Structure 1
Amino acid sequence: MKNKQERTQFIQEAKRQLMKQRMVSTLLYGTSIVLIVANRGAYWPFAVLVVARVLIARVHSQEVNRDMALTPNPTMKRIIQVQYVIDYCFIVLVSLFLPVVLNLSLPFFTSISMYLVLAVGLLMTDSVLERRGKKLDPEYPTKKELRTYPKTWKKLKT
């Protein structure tokens, strides 16, 4: 099995290869949110949102499979899966906040409270899983290590 540095380089290179797909899905997702907010009564912008979500889920699925292949521990594989589900849920939570508040006409304080409770819950669950994963497979890079690793548009050296 690869050591932490090799795994980190492998993941960063794979992320670089998925950059174009990530950008397209993110732009489509942002456009769909703008369309939903701009056309409050219409339902057609939700079709664009569904397409964008499917593209984002596809990219997440590719990343999950890639990351799970880097560890032999079945419990760690499950933690990786759950972390990607949490990441996806957080993306949905953050991006749908404004459209939900505008379209459902909920009281602002209630909306903010629900949003904060969900966001804090997702972040705390993710950090607990991160700590548990670090104990199960110390050679697996954490999210912080992946973020602080030198990022580049150029191909990383292996």
Structure 2
Amino acid sequence: MKNKQERTRFIQEAKRRLMKQRMLSALLYGTSIVLIVANRGAYWPFAVLIVALVLIARLHSKEVNRDMALTPHPAMKRVIQVQYVIDYCFIVLVGLFLPVVINLGLPFFTSIGVYLLLAIVLLLTDTILERRGKVLDPEHPTKKELRTYPKTWKKLKT
């Protein structure tokens, strides 16, 4: 199995290769949210949103399979899966907050409270899983290590 530095390089290079797809799916997701807010009565923007969410889920699936292949520990594989599900839920939560509040006419301050509560629960769960992952497989890079290393998205040298 690869050590932490090799795994980090491998994941960073794979992320670099997926950058164009990630940017396009994020652009489609943002556009769909703007369309939903701008066209309150129409249902067609939701089709664009579903396409964007499917593309994002597909990218997450590729990433989770790649990361799970780097660890031999079944418990760590489960932690990785749950972390990606939490990341996906957070993407949905952040993006759909305003469209849901506007289109459904929900009370704004109550919605903010529910939103903050869900965001805190997701972030705390992710932090707990990150710590558990460090114990299960110390050689697997953490999210912070993947964010801070390397400082560039240029092609990594091996």
**What's the TM-score bracket when you normalise by the shorter of the two chains?**
over 0.9
1:156 and 2:153 correspond: no
* CA drift at 1:61: 0.3
- Residue 57 (structure 2) pairs with residue 57 (structure 1): yes
* Equivalent residue, structure 2, for 1:74: 74
Identity over aligned residues, as a percent?
Answer: 85
- Give how far 1:151 is off: 3.4
Q: Residues of 2 paired with 1:123 and 1:79: CA distance? A: 14
Paired with 1:81 and 1:9, the residues of 2 have a C-alpha distance of 20
Q: Structure 2 matches for 1:58-137, cutoff 5 A?
A: 58-137=58-137
Alignment of 1:4-23 (within 5 A): 4-23=4-23
Q: What stretches of structure 1 of length at least 5 have no aligned partner?
A: none
Partner Cα distance (2:39, 2:155) in 1 = 42
Q: Which residue of 2 aligns with 1:41?
A: 41
Find the aligned partners of 1:71 and 1:17 in 2 and give their Cα distance: 21
How many residues were matched structurally?
158
* Whole-angstrom CA distance in 1 between matches of 2:3 and 2:151: 19
The structural deviation recorded for 1:153 is 2.9
Distance 1:142 1:46 in 2: 34
Q: TM-score of the superposition, structure 2-length normalised?
A: 0.98
SS of 1:70 mapped into structure 2:
coil
The aligned residue for residue 144 of structure 2 is 144
Tell me the CA shift for residue 73 of structure 1: 0.0
Letter in structure 2 aligned against 1:48? V
2:40 and 2:9 mapped to 1: Cα distance? 44
SS in 2 for 1:30: helix
CA distance in 2, matches of 1:7, 1:64: 14
* Deviation of the 1:152 alpha carbon: 2.1
Q: What does the per-residue CA deviation read over 1:92-124, in whole Å, with 9 as the maximum and x for residues that have no partner?
A: 000001101101111111100000000000000
1:51 is displaced (CA, Å) by 0.3
Alignment RMSD (CA, Å): 0.6
